[in-house]
Amino acid sequence: MPTFVCPASGKGKRLLSCEDAPEEGVIRVPYDRLSADALEGIIEDFVSREGTDYGMEEYSFDDKKSQVMAQIRKGKVVVLFDPFAETCHLVLADQVPSGL
DSSP H/E element including 37: helix 36-49
| Distance (Å, whole) CA 2 – CA 19 | 10
pTM: 0.71
Q: Encode pLDDT of 26-65 as tens digits.
A: 899 999 999 999 999 999 988 888 766 667 788 889 999 9
Query: Are 12 and 87 contacting, i.e. CB atoms less than 8 angstroms apart?
Result: yes
Q: Which fold has domain 3-95?
A: Arc Repressor Mutant, subunit A (1.10.10)
Domain boundaries, the chain: 3-95
The full DSSP string for 57-82 is: S---HHHHHHHHHHHHHTTSEEEEEE
State the pLDDT at residue 97.
Answer: 81
The answer to whether the beta carbons of residues 21 and 13 sit under 8 Å apart is no
